[in-house]
Amino acid sequence: MAFITGQKLFNPDTIDNAVVGIAADVAKHDSGMHHHQKAQLLYAPSGCMSITLDNMQCVLPPTRAAWIPAGIDHCSIMRNVVAYRSVYFDPASFQPLPDKLKVVSVNGLLRELIERMAFWPWDMPNREQQTLLALFWQELATAPVEQLTLPKPQDRRLQRWLSSLEQHNELLPTLNQAAKNIGASEKTISRIFSKETGMPYQAWRQQWRLMKAIELLAEKHQVSDVASELDFSSDSAFISFFRQHTGETPNKYIRETR
């Protein structure tokens, strides 16, 4: 097991083990785009991370974990203190491994398995790992997949516009305002979003607001503050929106993540 800091990028490919676990409390860390030869399970029992890939982004609150296949370019960002847990798996030692990025729900058993593996000594004999690894693979395979991902459009105009919004921490506007900012018609923007993300702009914006809400709630913002920051007409409108998309209220979600 290793501890990392926000100033140091850990490279699991330098460790010749079938399973490599690391753990640390990390604050305001940006890993930059990178990839490794090992597959990765990324999890934080407290705090919230966001993960960016070439054509997708996802949010990772404390009740979720991300499986990242080997060789996939990705960037992990932590804006506040996060209890970082990462477990890497050598593809040559485990066949076959899942080959698609996915975000899964973490129950109590899977959480404890991840914690155990994140703190394993790197020189632990493989035979001592087998029982827990078998249980881990079973739990990972049956864990519910969560829709906390957001495909990104590849159109350069939209990419520049979205990057500017993210850089200045601005709210994603309505379609008519977006059209004015980008200098294209609403019809053109909707067509590009539908073609490149599989969602019309309004649906894409709603998924963006949901993921942003989850991130803010995980960072311990109050429900009323989140509703205001994401431009909902009222707290009740935000609560209804959140329940519609997650099946639970923001307050219940906060209790679960804490």
Q: 102-105 and 49-53: which strand pairing?
A: unpaired
Q: What is the pLDDT of residues 188-223, one digit of tens each?
A: 999 999 999 999 999 999 999 999 999 888 888 899
8 Å CB contact between 45 and 115: yes
Q: Give residue 39's Cα distance to chain centre.
A: 16
To the nearest 10°, report the CA torsion of 16, 133, 61, 194. Answer: 80
> Would residue 37 be called left, alpha or beta, if left means φ above 0 and alpha means ψ between -120 and 50 degrees?
alpha
Using DSSP's 3-state secondary structure scheme, residue 21 falls into: strand
E-strand ranges in the chain read: 19-26, 29-30, 39-43, 49-53, 56-60, 64-68, 74-78, 82-89, 102-105, 149-151
Q: How far apart are CA 207 and CA 165, in angstroms?
A: 16
Q: How far apart are CA 163 and CA 56, in angstroms?
A: 13
Q: Per-residue pLDDT for the chain (258 aa), expressed as one digit of tens each?
A: 444 544 456 788 888 889 999 998 888 888 888 899 999 999 998 888 889 887 888 888 888 999 999 999 999 888 778 899 999 999 999 988 988 889 999 999 999 999 999 999 888 888 899 999 999 999 999 999 988 889 999 999 999 999 899 888 889 999 999 999 999 999 999 999 999 999 999 999 999 999 999 988 888 889 999 999 999 999 999 999 999 988 889 988 777 665
Q: How far apart are CA 2 and CA 40, in angstroms?
A: 15
Note the pTM of the prediction, 2 decimals: 0.82
- pLDDT (0 to 100) of residue 178: 93
